[in-house]
Amino acid sequence: MRKTFYLSGLAIALTIAATGIYAETVTVSGATLASNANDIAVNVNSDDGSIGNFYVTNGSANTVTTLNSALTYTRLTSYTGTAANPTEAASLTLNSSGVTLADGSGNALQLTGVADATLSATSTDAVNGSQLYATNQSISNLNDGLTAETAARIAGDAATLVSANAYTDTAVATETAARIAGDAATLTSANNYTDTKSTETLAAANAYTDTRVNNLANRLDDVEKAAYRGTAIALAAQQQVPNIKPGQIAVFGGAGHYKGETAGALGIVSALADGRTSVSAALGVAGGGEVGGRVGLAYVFGGN
């Protein structure tokens, strides 16, 4: 392999000749483009040391252009040699927004061979598929656990609800039966108490009424007897005044009977000095111990 370096004014040419298929040329100049099959050209259009347009060419189709705010690479043709054999890619863009890798149609490409990233709160590493798979598996296992836990809780809640309902139904039925039995017993006891008290009250009322009626009857009977005895006393004390002279006193007695009642009486009578006036008095006693009396005055009109 033969390598030649050229320094000419503002242009530097590096020529690498090989026995292989291609010859490589590197050109650094102010306005010159490398034009061989595999070229690199740096075109410096300012005097401040910056790179204006940067070209990597393989024919006329493959370029890396415009190193201003972004670096764009388009179409790298498969290279055959002893150093590398890269696969053809469409474009690679690097700018302040990030890195874009796409094929010739603009479709996204897969980036492989990414090492495991450091996972921490401050890490800025890109993660790879295996790390995402492990994360997804953890999430899936967590979801499975949550699903199983949810199902277990639902089943447990359902069983608890069924048990609570059964307990409540049993308790309500027991309480209802106890209340019904208690109400029946209370009603029976109340009825018995009411019947007893009613009987006692009625008996007391009847006894009181009977007593009052009996008392009234007795009172009426007493009144009746007293009336009868009074009548008997009156009959016994009734005595015709005898014809006596002034200064004389006559004593008399009598008996009377009226409707089963009997009485006796004693009396006196006396004529006054005028020969016409007389007075009398009588005291009678009935069979029940009743005592009655009378006083009478008589005056004789006419005659001598």
Least confident of 41-55, 95-109, 212-226, 280-294: 41-55
Least confident of 19-33, 78-92, 275-289: 19-33
Highest mean pLDDT among 49-53, 67-71, 130-134, 243-247: 130-134
The answer to whether the predicted template modeling score (pTM) of the entire model surpasses 0.75 is no
Structure-block tokens of residue 164: 């609570």
For residue 285, name the pLDDT band (cuts at 50, 70, 90).
Answer: very high
For residue 72, name the pLDDT band (cuts at 50, 70, 90).
Answer: low
Over residues 235-249, the mean pLDDT reads 80
Report the run of H or E that residue 73 belongs to, with start and end. Answer: strand 71-76
Q: Which residue has the higher pLDDT, 302 or 34?
A: 302
In degrees rounded to 5, what are phi and psi of residue 124?
-115, 15
> What is the per-residue pLDDT for 17?
39
Could you report the per-residue pLDDT of 163-193, keeping only the tens digit for each? 888 888 898 888 888 888 888 888 888 889 8
Q: Is the pLDDT of residue 284 over 70?
A: yes
CA–CA separation, 225 and 217 (whole Å)? 12
Please give the domain boundaries of the chain with CATH numbers for all domains: 2-112 (no CATH), 232-299 (3.30.1300.30)
Q: Can you count the helices (H) and strands (E) in the chain?
A: 1, 13
Q: Is the pLDDT of residue 157 over 60?
A: yes
Least confident of 21-25, 179-183, 235-239: 21-25
Mind giving me the DSSP string for 247-291? Answer: T-EEEEEEEEEETTEEEEEEEEEEE-TTSSEEEEEEEEEETTS-E
Measure the CA angle with vertex 60, ends 59 and 61; round to 5°. 100
